[in-house]
Amino acid sequence: MAETQHLLIASLPEAPRKPKSKVQKVARKAFKGTAHLSNLLPTGSVMGFQIMCPVLTHQGQCPTVASRWLTCFLVFVCAVSCFLLSFTDSFRDPRGKVRYGLATPSGLMVMDGTITLTEEEKEKYKLRFIDFLHAIMSMLVFFAISMFDQNVIRCLFPVPSEDTKELLTGLPFIIGVVCGGFFLVFPTRRHGIGSPLTKE
């Protein structure tokens, strides 16, 4: 019975597809571009920052000079992590296992070293100028995120002037818009550590 139903369904003609309107096409591209933005910041760096920041800042109080320095160090380390992780990439080996590597000028350096890539595959993963731009932009986006964190603001700027308040409000927004626009126009093709790998 089930086999008969399956054969009947398979023999039905496909319904004609309606052509998409311009609005639908623009919306689809916008959603697809926005989905790519999630690949730009390594989730581990942001999560580590979110976990460690309240601890190091003492919920934004920063009672000592050491806690201020530790907060600055945390922001710096997480930003450098975002920068470096922008150069990682991944691929599936012949057995379907995901392998990670570091992009170099000569190709992808596989981290566990058990797999060697062909020259054609190495060329595909070669380090390019756009990778440096993505890394710098990822670092800037992380700085913008950290500038929105109230624990960091209260710790580093306990009594901000009106100019400082305006700068702390406007600058992260401007960084987000500029970097977001850049990433939409020039999306990354890398699937680094912490980024989902497509089936292809």
Q: Is residue 74 part of a domain?
A: yes
* 39 phi/psi in degrees, rounded to 5: -85, -5
- Same structural domain, 138 and 184: yes
Q: How confident is the model at residue 182 (pLDDT cuts 50, 70, 90)?
A: confident
Last residue of a domain, one of 126, 141, 176: 126
Q: Is residue 30 part of a domain?
A: no
Sequence-distant (≥ 6) Cβ neighbours of residue 6 within 8 angstroms: none
Question: Which residue range is the domain that position 155 belongs to?
Answer: 39-86+129-190
Domain tally for the chain? 2
Same domain for 66 and 100: no
Q: Are residue 101 and residue 183 in the same domain, yes or no? A: no
- Residue 39 confidence (pLDDT) above 70: no
Residue 92, SS3 per DSSP: strand
57 Cα distance to chain centroid: 25
Claim to verify: residue 50 and residue 68 sit in the same structural domain: yes
Q: Which of the four pLDDT bands, split at 50, 70 and 90, describes residue 73?
A: very high
**107 and 138 assigned to the same domain:** no
What predicted TM-score, i.e. pTM, was given to this entire model? 0.72
> What value does the mean pLDDT take over residues 123-133?
88
Based on the domain organization, do 93 and 159 belong to the same domain?
A: no
Confidence band (pLDDT; 50, 70, 90) for 179? confident
How sure is the predictor about 5, in pLDDT bands with cuts at 50, 70 and 90? low
Per cent of the chain over pLDDT 70 is 76
